[in-house]
Each structure stands twice: as C-alpha cells, then as structure tokens.
Amino acid sequence: MKFKTLAKFLNKIENTPSRLEMTAVLADLFKQSQKDEIDKVCYLSLGRLAPKYEGIEFNLAEKMMVRIIARSTKFEEKEVLAAFKEIGDLGDVIKRFKKTKDDFNLSVSDVFEMLFKIAQDSGTGSQERKIKKMAELLEKLDSLSAKYIARIPVNRLRLGFSDMTVLDALSWMENQDKSLRPELERAFNVLADVGKIAFVFKTKGIKGIKKIKSEVGIPIRAALAERLKKPEEILEKMDGQCALEPKMDGFRCQIHFDRSKKFKLKDETNLSLFENKEKYFVRIFSRNLDNTTHMFPEIIKAVQKLKVDNAILDGEAIAFDPQTKKFLSFQETVQRKRKHGILEKAIEVPLKVFVFDILYLNNKPLLNMTFKQRRTLLEKILNKSKGEEKAIILTRQIIVKKPNEFNQFFEKVVSEELEGLMAKKLDAVYQAGNRNFNWVKYKVGMQSDLADTIDCVVMGYYKGKGKRTNFGIGAFLVGIVDKNKFLTVSKIGIGLTDKQWREIHKRCQKLKTYKKPKEYQVNKNINPDVWCKPGLIVEIEADTITRSPIHTAKLALRFPRLKRFRDDKSLNETTKKNELERLLKS
Ligand code: AMP
C-alpha cells in the first residue's frame, strides 16, 4: 500500500464522527492492506511504531518538530512557530506550508522503516540526525501524508480510537459486523500486541486467532477485582470457600523471565548490580501494560536465580524501610516511579515483590488452569528457590469457608496496616483483561455502613515512624468501659491531620503512666509503647464493627477515624458494649 493511500484513510477516519462508520473505514483499510504490512498499518493508525510497551519513542519535542517543519518546507522557523501558536496542531501547520508533491511513491513499509530508524537513533548527535532525517522524509511526502507523519513523533495523532476499535474493525473486515470481536479480544487479552493479532488474523483467519497463546515478553492483560461489602456475599459468590491474601498497596508487576534469551539493559548503571554475571531476559509490565522493567533493578536481579526455563509471574511490588523492615505506604512506594537516579533510589527505598500468581511456566501458558493448580506450581518454584530471591516473596494465603475466619484474617491484615485483602475463587481460570468476581477486593473503608459514631477512651499510644516521628505518636489504642474494666476496640493510626496528631500527643503526655493501669484488659500483642491513664475521651467514626480475636471487647472498629475530642463527656459515657453489639447486628 502506498503511504498516500493510508493518509487518505486516516483523513477519512478523522472526519468521521460516528464510531461505527469509523470502524467500517478502518475495516476497509485493513482489507486493502497486505499481509506483511497490516501490523505496521495498525501501529501507524494508532500513532505508534510498535506496541506502547516496546517503548519506541521519538523523543522529539514540539519545538523540534517546528524546526523540522521549517527545514522541510524552507520556511522561516519563526513563521512556522507563529502558525503553530495560531493553529495548535503540527499536522495542520505542515499542511499549510507544504506544496503538494504527487510524484513520491513511498510505500507504508518504506515510511515505517524510515520512521523506525529515526526513532531508534540514540547517542551523541542523535537529535541533530533525527531532525535532518525527519525533515528529509517530510520533504518527500505529499501534504496530507506529511500532516499525519508530523503528528506521530509528538504523540499527537489521536484519531479517537483505541486497540479495541482495531479489534472491532478486524471483525468487520471479515464479517461486516462485530461478531468476531469476543474471539479477537480473548486473543488480545492473552497476547496484548494488536499488530500481532491483526497479522495472525490476516494470514490465518479466525482459526489462527483461536490458537493464540501467551508468549514470554508480550504482556497479558491484567485480571482485575470486583468489590463486595460482606464476607458472606463473597463466600457465596465463590461457592462457599475462597483463598484470602493480603492486598498490598504498591505497583502491579507482571514479570516475564526467559533463560534462553539474553537481556539488554538500557540503563547502564543497573549493570553494576550483576557483578558481571549472566543476565537473562526479564521484562516487567505495569497494570496498564507499560514496560516498567528499568524501575526495578532488584527484581531483575532476583528473578535471574529462579530455577525455571521461563515464566510469567503476577505480583505487587511494595517498598520497605531497610532499617525497620516495615512495608511502606503507596505514597512512599511511589517514589520508585522514576526515569533517572533509579539505582540510588533503589538503595534508599528498596522494594519487594509479592507474587500472587503464575501465568506461564517452562513454555506452557497456565491461564486455563485453576487458581488452586497455579498456586501449587507457584509455591513449588518459589519455595525451591527459597532464600535466594530476597526481593521475591510468595504472597501469604489462607483458605476460608466461614465469615468469622474471613473477618479474623481481615482484622489481622488491618492490624498490620495493610490495605485490606483479596478474596480469590479457587477453581477460577485466570481471566486476562477482565474485572469479575473471581477476585474480590475487601479493603479498609469499603464497608461503610456504620451510621453512628463511638465514644472511646484513649488507653495508650505507639511511637511514630517515618514522618510521624515528628509528632512523637504514630497510632493510639482506644477502648470502651465495661463495668469496671477497660476493653480495647481499636488501634487508630490513620486519618488524622497533622494538627490532630500534635494535639493528641500533647493531651496524652498529661496522662502518661509507666505501668499499665490495672483495670485495663489488653491483648499483649498490641500493648502500646506508652500507657495513658483513663481520662481522654475521643469520638471515633468507623465504617463497621466486626468480631475480633485481638481486641478484648471481642469487637473491633474497622477503618476508625478520629472525629473530635469529647472533653464534655465523662468516662461513664463511653459507648457501651451492648450498643456496639447492636451496631454489629444492624
Ligand atoms: P484495585 O487497584 O483496588 O482495583 O485492586 C486491584 C489491585 O490490587 C491489583 O491490580 C493489584 O495491583 C493489587 N493487589 C495487591 N495485592 C494483591 C493480591 N494479593 N492479589 C491480587 N492483586 C493484588
């Protein structure tokens, strides 16, 4: 196909308001494309040269593109810039300045190759070479072709459709309707490269699509979780039993590893991690299928030691404090999202990846196995390699059948300051790219059906970590009065403003006592660092009340937040145990 023809199609799509019509035009474009160029046509019409995760970027700023347009059209840079400021689109700018040339005959593949070379050029002098080559290419094109090409390097093609429209259009090309979309989408979910899907469809038809399997190096679209409010509902949805895992709050990491391929690291500084040892292929993808490999040198290193030929693992990476060994919040983990200074940050804020699934092992895709079977394989490979991959950890898991077992585990993960838990159906296959009830998230604050607030006594506090060391307090223990005893109901460590932390610390100082007051009944696992005499009453807002094995009231508040200090209330006026029982049942 001539590039000119592709440009005419792109122009038609751009001027088509209806999605259905757009799909039909795209289908026509795919029909006219040759087998060996369909992948390129797909990428180019999406404004790219490859799937996004390949990271093929031009690194040309709009300012550079202005210079390129000036050079290729022989106009002054300031004229081009003025037009850009007026029109706001580089494609329209070049169209205005360019005299149409109809004698050029470059094919889609020719233009693609040239663009690819320009994008891949790197190192000293590459910027100047890119400008020169890009100007030469634009000079050779007619004005409509130039309009679309000028937008690609600055990521501004945006014709208003995505990978999914491409799948619809492929179906349309064959059947004039969207009937093949589910099968095409299944293939795309397990092998998320739309160009590859289009190529297989064009060469082997729907039969070929049905045979598509995952491959190491190409992302599988992530499975996602639904939400439900009650453990009972979750258990029912999962046929009476489910696996529970802590839900860590970090970065989703789909780790691809292959011992038969060598690995090229872009960032040379990361090489120092390997002490000249062998480096096998690793690729890490985010939940949005971005290639995040370069962000995680410690995972790259740890994966090398897995005793497998190849594998695809699914997990969550979370930062920890190397001194206290405690896991950090998402806000702290997010510092690892960066392009430069990766190694320095990796030493300062190291992370571990909690692997919770395995999707491919030793040349076999595992997506159609049940979760239980996949978990058994995962345990085998991670246990076999135990102790070596310090950055790779098997996610904790228990199997529960009863709501109270569910609640106990939830209570436990909450007391560890984790985000909540993931319930997983044991006999479910891995449904790539789907959000359904095979996975259900159950997070702090999601239950939100506690209408009332609760008045409690502050019984002690825990010294802060991180930022909160400044306040001298990181969490506090609250309880209720039951006859003459003080029973705990909650440890509160989140949801306070800085002002409230300072205030509560000041108030606690006045009630500080070295010995635990004798009327306090506290599970020794949650003994506070500093005890407070009974005297400070706080009003607490929470999402629900649950049974608790940890708290001595046998009930606990979930997602408690400090509402205000109740200086107006006396100790006898704290919420009663029977009131809490009632709230539990309501
Ligand atoms: P959410 O982002 O709230 O929709 O929750 C789903 C996300 O939780 C997933 O995309 C993972 O990144 C993350 N996650 C953390 N721990 C787990 C786990 N044990 N199993 C599955 N996903 C997890």
Judgement on whether residues 472 and 377 belong to the same structural domain of the protein: no
pLDDT at position 340: 82
pLDDT at position 89: 86
pTM attached to this predicted model: 0.76
Asked whether residue 154 is domain-assigned, the answer is no
Pairing relation of β-strands 485-492 and 520-521? Answer: parallel
pLDDT at position 386: 55
The domain that holds 503 is classified in CATH as: 2.40.50.140
Distance between CA 547 and CA 410 in Å, rounded?
Answer: 11
Beta bridge mates, 242 = 400
- The percentage of residues in the chain with a pLDDT greater than 90, rounded to a whole number, is 59
Judgement on whether residues 274 and 237 belong to the same structural domain of the protein: yes
- The percentage of residues in the chain with a pLDDT greater than 70, rounded to a whole number, is 94
Judgement on whether residues 565 and 426 belong to the same structural domain of the protein: no
Q: Is the pLDDT of residue 314 over 50?
A: yes
Largest Cα–Cα separation, the chain: 97
Local confidence band at 445 (pLDDT 50, 70, 90 cut-offs): low
pLDDT at position 497: 84
**Mean pLDDT, residues 190-202 taken together:** 98
Judgement on whether residues 467 and 439 belong to the same structural domain of the protein: no
**Which residues does 63 contact at the CB level (< 8 Å), separation at least 6?**
none
pLDDT at position 388: 47
The beta-strand segments (E) located in 464-532 are: 475-482, 485-492, 512-513, 520-521, 530-532
Active site (catalytic) residues: 247
Of 389 and 579, which is predicted with more confidence?
579
Distance between CA 180 and CA 168 in Å, rounded?
Answer: 8
Among 527, 476, 522, CA closest to 500? 476
Asked whether residue 11 is domain-assigned, the answer is no
How many structural domains compose the chain? 2
Asked whether residue 428 is domain-assigned, the answer is yes
Q: Which atom of ligand 1 is nearest to the CA of 245?
A: 19
SS3 breakdown of the chain: % helix, strand, coil, rounded to 5?
Answer: 45, 20, 35
Give nearest CA residue, ligand 1 atom 16: 247
Lowest mean pLDDT among 78-82, 145-149, 173-177, 481-485: 481-485
The domain that holds 233 is classified in CATH as: 3.30.470.30
- The domain boundary, picked from 393, 420, 443, lies at 443
Asked whether residue 215 is domain-assigned, the answer is no
**3-state SS, one letter per residue, for 173-223:** HHHCCCCCHHHHHHHHHHCCCHHHHHHHHHHHHHHHHHCCCCCCCCCCCCC
Local confidence band at 269 (pLDDT 50, 70, 90 cut-offs): very low
* DSSP string across 25-90: HHHHHHHHS-GGGHHHHHHHHTT-SS-GGG-------HHHHHHHHHHHHT--HHHHHHHHHHH--H
Judgement on whether residues 509 and 382 belong to the same structural domain of the protein: no
Asked whether residue 60 is domain-assigned, the answer is no
Q: Which atom of ligand 1 is nearest to the CA of 287?
A: 10
Distance between CA 229 and CA 440 in Å, rounded?
Answer: 10
41-77 pLDDT, tens digit each:
999 999 999 998 998 888 888 889 999 999 999 999 9
Q: Which atom of ligand 1 is nearest to the CA of 251?
A: 12
pLDDT at position 389: 54
Taking the centre of ligand 1 as the mean of its atom positions, its distance from the CA of residue 318, in whole angstroms, is: 12
316-325 pLDDT, tens digit each:
999 988 888 7
**Which residues does 96 contact at the CB level (< 8 Å), separation at least 6?**
83, 87
Distance between CA 284 and CA 461 in Å, rounded?
Answer: 41
Local confidence band at 383 (pLDDT 50, 70, 90 cut-offs): confident
Judgement on whether residues 404 and 526 belong to the same structural domain of the protein: no
Q: Which atom of ligand 1 is nearest to the CA of 441?
A: 5
CB-defined site of ligand 1, < 6 Å: 222, 224-225, 245, 247-248, 252, 287, 316, 356, 395, 422, 441
Asked whether residue 91 is domain-assigned, the answer is no
Our mutation pick for probing the ligand 1 site, out of 247, 290, 359, 413, counting the most ligand atoms within 8 A of Cβ, is: 247
- The domain boundary, picked from 423, 443, 463, lies at 443
Judgement on whether residues 331 and 433 belong to the same structural domain of the protein: yes
Judgement on whether residues 355 and 248 belong to the same structural domain of the protein: yes
Give nearest CA residue, ligand 1 atom 11: 252
Distance between CA 266 and CA 120 in Å, rounded?
Answer: 12
Encode burial over 381-411: b for 16+ CB neighbours within 10 A, e otherwise.
bbeebeeebebbbbbebeebeebebbbbbbb
Judgement on whether residues 380 and 234 belong to the same structural domain of the protein: yes
Distance between CA 586 and CA 433 in Å, rounded?
Answer: 37
- Domain housing 557: 454-585
Judgement on whether residues 465 and 574 belong to the same structural domain of the protein: yes
Taking the centre of ligand 1 as the mean of its atom positions, its distance from the CA of residue 13, in whole angstroms, is: 37
Taking the centre of ligand 1 as the mean of its atom positions, its distance from the CA of residue 251, in whole angstroms, is: 9
364 C-beta neighbours (distance < 10 Å), count: 12
**Mean pLDDT, residues 407-420 taken together:** 89
Judgement on whether residues 245 and 297 belong to the same structural domain of the protein: yes
Distance between CA 508 and CA 514 in Å, rounded?
Answer: 13
Q: Is the pLDDT of residue 571 over 90?
A: no
140-184 pLDDT, tens digit each:
889 999 999 999 988 788 787 889 999 999 999 999 999 999 999
Max avg pLDDT among 246-255, 387-396, 493-502: 246-255
pLDDT at position 546: 85
- The domain boundary, picked from 443, 474, 504, lies at 443
Asked whether residue 430 is domain-assigned, the answer is yes
Taking the centre of ligand 1 as the mean of its atom positions, its distance from the CA of residue 253, in whole angstroms, is: 10
523-546 pLDDT, tens digit each:
998 999 999 999 999 989 887 788
Rounded mean pLDDT of the chain? 89
Taking the centre of ligand 1 as the mean of its atom positions, its distance from the CA of residue 137, in whole angstroms, is: 46
Asked whether residue 48 is domain-assigned, the answer is no
Judgement on whether residues 388 and 414 belong to the same structural domain of the protein: yes
pLDDT at position 450: 52
Distance between CA 463 and CA 473 in Å, rounded?
Answer: 4
Among 442, 378, 397, CA closest to 237? 442
Task: Give the single-character DSSP code of 107.
Answer: B
